[in-house]
Amino acid sequence: MPRSVRTRITLLATSVTLGICIVVCTALYIGLFLSLHREVDAFLDGEVREFQAILEHEEDDELKEIEREIRNELGGRPGGDLTFRLLDAQGRLLITSDPTDSFPNPWVPAQPLSATDAEHQTHSGNGLLPSLRFCSRRVTLRRHGDVIVQATYRLDRVDRSLSVCRWVCFTAVLLAAILSFLGGHMVARNSMRPVAAMTQSARSITAKQLSLRVPRSGTNDEIDELANTLNNMLERIEAGVQRIQQFTADAAHELRTPLTALRGNAEFALSQPRSVEQLKGVIEQSLDYYRILSRVTDDLLLLARLDAGQEPLQAEPCSLSLMVDEVVDLYRPLAADHGIEIRVHSPDVVTASIDAGKIRRVISNLLDNAIKYMGGPGSVTIGLSGMNGTATIHIDDTGSGIPPDDLPHIFERFYRVDRARSVTPGSDTRSIGLGLAICRSILHAHGGELNIQSTQGKGTKVEVVLPRLPDSPR
């Protein structure tokens, strides 16, 4: 099987056309052959009948006289197309319309002649005789007894017609083969041209040139569809690679800040003799930076494992109502310090099959954000409900809200609305922009969802949706 699609299409077109032509020509040839032979047979039947009529009319005459008669009446010519013969019952020649007749004498029929029907036979030509078709009939004459009446027709003309037909068919098949080969080759070349152009462009697309696209021919056919699909795929790959590049740059940036600070601390401690108090201060500050570093690396590792589906979920039935109460109790003192009131509205006991540690982290993270970004006194309302097979936790705050331009990006890794609130030791070590990304990945791993709506200056509404245990008590 040739490897090139172009060659395969060409060969297929040629062989199909060739096959059709051969079948059509063979059918035509067989049809012509049969129809010519049928016509010759019908003609010979008529001639034999006419010959028989003459014989019956001249029955009492001498054979010589009859022979003269038929040579005159039936137009028998030496070497002519049509010859009449009268044979006795043993096949011996009695009369012939052709004086140069070299037909076998005596003639032995291939099978005994029927008493009623005319028999048609073909004598394929040999050195002495041309190919002949003849019709023989047994008749009984009053004076001459049982005889065989025979008319013979030379098949030269028929053979010539058939031979012309064979040549026409052969030429037609040959022409069809050449034309279909050329046509198939042209069609294949034209239809494969866009594919060749796509291959050429695809070769030049590398990781550094992901903005290139494969060309479209504009015909809206399957190949254009393929080009569209490839281009859409390239767009997704480009966006993915850009995300990875951005993520790598952000991660490096986040790690560089504490690392630079740690180096600065070490240089400060070693640059000249320091008092124990000074060294203690340096070590305490360094410890904060170590905590930030380990937090960032832990979060990155968790995200990578969640992305790869390698973070095992220890799912077990768990009361979300109890969990919310525990997390709220933990954050109440911090909220009170900032003049924030936390209200819990949970009329039902809602149970879900969850990894308790991870979902606790999600609720803590979201409550922490609500308090952290409140920007002054206010309130946070937590609502818990279970309906239609899902458990929903609402965390609504009356804080400053998220600007509309930032809202679509808050799930991106390392994205922070206020970049100034970066990783600084002591005050706010948790603001690294990975919290919401981790929350969403954890919820997706549970088959859940995280939705955020926010109005700047009014507050933020966070919705956590989790699949609920079907038989959870209400």
Residues contributing to the site for ligand ADP (CB under 6 A): 369-370, 373, 397, 399, 401-402, 410, 415-418, 430-437, 460
Nearer to ligand ADP, 194 or 459 (CB): 459
Q: Hey, what amino acid is at 84?
A: F
Q: What is the DSSP string of 207-253?
A: GGGTT------SS-SHHHHHHHHHHHHHHHHHHHHHHHHHHHHHHHH
Nearer to ligand ADP, 465 or 469 (CB): 465
User: Closest approach of Cβ 257 to ligand ADP, in Å?
Assistant: 14
Q: How far is CA 249 from CA 243, 281, 417, 473, in A?
A: 10, 31, 18, 48
* 31-40 contacts at long range (C-beta below 8 A, 24 or more positions apart): 32/161, 32/162, 32/165, 33/162, 36/158, 36/161, 36/162, 37/133, 37/158, 40/133, 40/153, 40/155, 40/158
Please answer whether residues 465 and 449 qualify as being in contact, where contact means their C-beta atoms are separated by less than 8 angstroms: yes
User: Closest approach of Cβ 404 to ligand ADP, in Å?
Assistant: 12
Nearer to ligand ADP, 328 or 432 (CB): 432
Per DSSP, helices labelled H in 58-112 are: 63-73
User: Closest approach of Cβ 452 to ligand ADP, in Å?
Assistant: 7
User: Closest approach of Cβ 319 to ligand ADP, in Å?
Assistant: 25
Greatest pairwise CA separation for the chain in angstroms? 163
Nearer to ligand ADP, 185 or 361 (CB): 361
By the 10 Å C-beta count (0-12 exposed, 13-18 middle, 19+ buried), 136 is classed as buried
User: Closest approach of Cβ 375 to ligand ADP, in Å?
Assistant: 8
For the CA atoms of 272, 276, 280, 283, the dihedral, rounded to the nearest 10 degrees, stands at: 40
Nearer to ligand ADP, 155 or 327 (CB): 327
Nearer to ligand ADP, 434 or 442 (CB): 434
Distance CA 310, CA 305 (A): 5
Nearer to ligand ADP, 185 or 416 (CB): 416
DSSP 66: H
Q: Which residue is nearest to ligand ADP (CB)?
A: 435
User: Closest approach of Cβ 237 to ligand ADP, in Å?
Assistant: 26
User: Closest approach of Cβ 277 to ligand ADP, in Å?
Assistant: 33
